[in-house]
A and B are shown apart, each in its own frame.
Chain A
């Protein structure tokens, strides 16, 4: 039943998506450019949304994704410069720093019994303040930093007709990890334990599995994936760093996780939809016939409006019973 619904979604969704692209190309928008930007924009969203899905399944809700994005965007660039390679930045400044933040968040949420939404918002505030502070401390220049273009992660260039389609290897990684985590969550014992930690933590405890540890590990994984997404933004996509680089994407990723009812594959699909809204916005902004008519401010609003509309259509979903509640043994 579950698979058939997803299939139906694809059968209706894919052709209408192609038709939409054709319509846009009639208007003078380049479909290849849209797709390229869509995949770029989708990548950080997908990593964070899939991570958050696993995290929330285990009972920990982290609304501090934006904060992790912010911090790892800066540390990613910093470690890329230290190690002299973009990949080094993604791994140390992104995955490792993100994992540490995720571990910390999971630790205070489970063992510290923190009120998770408040802790998450605290994390966002820390990120908001740390970014300009760290940028000033690292590069002694406020708010903007341009790094050596050689540090940018290379792309795979695929020839489609006359056009070249650039695909980041991190995007492929994001899709692969989504499939891996989907199988892990639904088909393995570890996945079952993660689900039990969110649904019936007392049952998991009785079975002799450490509930808090399960949650800390899920949160660490979420932090690590979100960190890769954060470091990807400057290193794999924009090629520069400004202090507003994340532009609320942490919350769009949160929306993607909520939107999909915490199912990794669906979270990835929603990330694609939200990424597409960004790809569309970026492409329209540079399309000659449109950019003179519509002020770019309105085009910039598209991803946020799409997110709101998408959530309004889907409405509320069912969430794990113990979501956001610290586990206390009785």
Chain B
């Protein structure tokens, strides 16, 4: 037990330093633009951590993030830089709207069918990325971002022309009651158990199966993977497909697992940036499924808390910038040792 701790000590400290730099960076930005960072941060944490509803809301915010974070993490573990969770979440949310809002099915089956359908359409949206990568060598960063934009316009089109809510054209058809997950409290639903279940399942696939071993070997040592005969095309398709399943599920969470709207808006306001914030979640969670659960809760707190900063005039998207600063800090492998050498004065 002590051995595990000392092994984990360095990454945990590194992550905490990065988070601290993120907060300092956010504070500097607030000072530059003449806001009071202390009041803002106090408001952020008071609103989230000091009330039951605040904790529920933070967890509700964490649910889609742990899934989009998982998408990015599986990519990194397999050696790919998958930033397609954004678009795949739009498509998953749209898939959920189609099945949950416009088709009636018996209770129980409806929830299950919608969940699975959203995952599958999310994963299908990743197929062009895999095909372009496997057979044409197209870099996944460019292809995924292009597909994110195509997904955005496709979903807006589908909402405007086919799936708008009559009388409220600014949003899509809400999920029928039979397709909704049960509310636990505030806007947290039992969907969180589905998300955690999916993460645990992914952990088992990655660390307890041959397939998962091949994925991780390709990520950590591509030459060795090639030498032992791992099928490159299979790995490409598999990692983006699992990522797509997770991202599709993240999209669905906003439709069938998130009151009070139970749907998406035509602006996609409640799905936008889920994928990009997931990158931060994955990196803070060290690209490990269980780390991601914790980091998504951390970012969920920040995102929900940002609305309390908004009362002070600070734009809530500052949290995205803080997330970005944390990611920048985490990109520096020697940050920890530099700080230890120069500031703490250790050996």
Contacts and interface: CB of A to CB of B under 8 A. Distances in A.
Given A114-B332, A125-B279, A301-B153, A133 B318 contact: yes
B29 A301 contact: no
Given A118-B283, A121-B279, A251 B333 contact: no
Interface stretch (B114-122, B132-140, B217-225): B132-140
A118 B327 contact: yes
A298 B322 CA distance: 34
B59 interface: no
Contacts of A251: 141-142, 145-146
B259 interface: no
Nearest to A256: B142
Interface residues of B, number: 55
Given A118-B331, A125-B324, A311-B132, A255 B142 contact: yes
A126 interface: yes
Contact of B132 (A67, A300, A308): A308
Interface stretch (A1-9, A86-94, A134-142, A164-172): A134-142
A115 interface: yes
Interface string A106-149: 00100011111111011111111111111111001010000000
A133 B150 contact: no
B141 A63 contact: yes
A311 B33 contact: no
Interface stretch (B45-53, B176-184, B309-317): B309-317
Given A121-B279, A124-B324, A133-B29, A114 B331 contact: yes
Given A108-B331, A117-B81, A251-B145, A125 B320 contact: yes
Interface string A299-330: 01100110110011001100000000000000
A315 B137 contact: yes
Contacts of B83: 121
B72 to A, nearest CB: 9
Contact of A133 (B136, B314, B334): B314
B320 A295 contact: no
Nearest to A297: B157
Contact of A258 (B142, B150, B157, B335): B142
B331 A298 contact: no
B330 A129 contact: no
A67 B145 CA distance: 13
A254 interface: yes
A301 B138 contact: no
A142 B132 contact: no
A108 B330 CA distance: 11
Interface string B294-324: 0000000000000000000111011111111
A118 B73 CA distance: 12
Contacts of B334: 112-113
A322 to B, nearest CB: 17
B193 interface: no
A119 B331 contact: yes
A226 to B, nearest CB: 16
A127 to B, nearest CB: 7
A301 B324 contact: no
A10 interface: no
Contact of B319 (A121, A129, A134, A136): A129
B148 interface: yes
A129 B315 CA distance: 9
Nearest to A126: B324
Contact of B331 (A115, A127, A311): A115
Given A136-B313, A248-B146, A118 B153 contact: no
Residue in A63, A126, A127, A301 with the greatest tally of chain B CB atoms within 10 Å: A126
A197 B345 CA distance: 34
A301 to B, nearest CB: 5
A296 B319 CA distance: 32
A137 B150 contact: no
Given A115-B331, A125-B321, 13 more contacts: A108-B328, A112-B335, A113-B334, A115-B333, A117-B81, A117-B141, A122-B330, A124-B324, A125-B320, A125-B324, A126-B325, A295-B161, A308-B128
Interface of A: 63, 67, 108, 112-119, 121-137, 140, 142, 247-248, 251-252, 254-255, 258, 295, 297-298, 300-301, 304-305, 307-308, 311-312, 315-316
12 contacts: A67-B324, A121-B327, A125-B324, A128-B320, A130-B317, A137-B315, A140-B313, A297-B157, A304-B149, A304-B150, A311-B143, A316-B137
